[in-house]
């Protein structure tokens, strides 16, 4: 089976713009670079990945372009720009120019914004207009309190390609289901929205079994079906809970339970269709031809 990782990160701590790392677990406060993942990714049979920003700076996005130019397993970059900047359109166009074919989308770190309605603010309209103009995807990094604002935004952005990162980060640790499930169901009624099947293990409380994911995963499959779910590792954040190989194994088992005939869509084809990378993944011959 062909495998594409729709969501992973690299960072180099001495760059100094990863503000969130100061309060992150010590295990993440070190460099995570392509050489650290290459063996694991190859052993898992993952042919390529989408590299997602981890710092709220344009400089980090340009650093990710450098990594991608040196490593063809990186299919493209989801970068960052200040969505409220007065010259946001010029900034987005400059990133797209500097990245060449490597810029696939943008992700403001909305989950960290103190206003849960931030995504619906008119001040962001110019940024979203430019995303559509440049044919770039939007990665929605939000938590459950921000889902209603995302829904209001997407009702106005019917042509925008949008993917919900980490299933909207449900509070699995505290067993909160309904306040996540209801807005997810409503959001999924918008046909342009996809959802990443990623980041769920790190929402578990310490010692909580992986079986606690079951109702959340069942809801995702019920809402998004098999055409709009994209598997991602969220490596290296994943390492706080599990290994790259084991999360892939667990995710495949969960998908097999709900959609045994659609694994290649969830683990490869949906990511390629959504992000539209210009760089073709180097699938091993054993993976077969695209279906």
- CATH (domain of 61): 3.20.20.140
Mean pLDDT over residues 260-280, rounded? 96
Domain that holds residue 31: 4-283
Instruction: Say whether 161 sits in a helix, a strand or coil.
Output: coil
Q: Is residue 291 part of a domain?
A: no
Q: How confident is the model at residue 289 (pLDDT cuts 50, 70, 90)?
A: very low
**89-146 pLDDT, tens per residue?**
999 999 999 999 999 999 999 999 999 999 999 999 999 999 999 999 999 999 999 9
Q: ∠ at Cα 281 (275, 285), nearest 5°?
A: 140
Q: Is residue 188 part of a domain?
A: yes
Q: Is residue 60 part of a domain?
A: yes
pLDDT at 287 over 60: no
Q: Is residue 110 part of a domain?
A: yes
In total, how many domains does the chain have?
1
Q: Is residue 124 part of a domain?
A: yes
Neighbours of 166 (CB within 10 A): 24
Mean pLDDT over residues 149-174, rounded? 96
Q: Is residue 178 part of a domain?
A: yes
Phi, psi of 81 (to 5 degrees): -150, 155
């Amino acid at each position: 089976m062909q495998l594409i990782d729709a969501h992973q990160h690299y960072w180099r701590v001495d760059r100094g713009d990863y503000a969130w790392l100061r309060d992150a677990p010590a295990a993440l406060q070190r460099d995570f670079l392509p050489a650290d993942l290459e063996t694991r990714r190859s052993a898992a049979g993952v042919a390529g990945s989408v590299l997602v920003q981890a710092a709220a700076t344009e400089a980090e996005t340009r650093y990710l372009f450098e990594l991608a130019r040196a490593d063809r397993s990186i299919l493209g970059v989801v970068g960052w720009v200040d969505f409220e900047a007065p010259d946001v359109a010029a900034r987005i166009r400059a990133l797209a120019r500097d990245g060449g074919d490597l810029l696939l989308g943008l992700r403001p770190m909305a989950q960290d914004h103190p206003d849960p309605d931030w995504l619906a603010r008119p001040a962001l309209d110019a940024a979203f207009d430019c995303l559509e103009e440049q044919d770039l995807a939007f990665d929605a990094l939000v938590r459950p309190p921000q889902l209603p604002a995302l829904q209001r935004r997407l009702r106005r952005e019917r042509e925008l390609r949008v993917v919900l990162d980490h299933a909207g980060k449900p509070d699995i640790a505290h067993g909160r289901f309904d306040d996540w499930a209801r807005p997810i169901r409503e959001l999924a009624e918008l046909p342009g929205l996809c959802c990443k099947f990623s980041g769920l293990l790190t929402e578990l409380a310490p010692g909580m079994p992986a079986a606690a994911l079951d109702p959340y995963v069942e809801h995702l499959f019920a809402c998004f079906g098999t055409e709009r779910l994209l598997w991602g590792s969220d490596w290296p954040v994943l390492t706080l809970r599990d290994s790259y190989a084991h999360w892939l194994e667990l995710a495949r088992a969960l998908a097999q339970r709900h959609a045994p005939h659609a694994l290649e869509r969830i683990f490869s084809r949906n990511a390629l269709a959504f992000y539209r990378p210009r760089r073709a993944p180097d699938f091993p011959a054993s993976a077969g031809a695209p279906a």
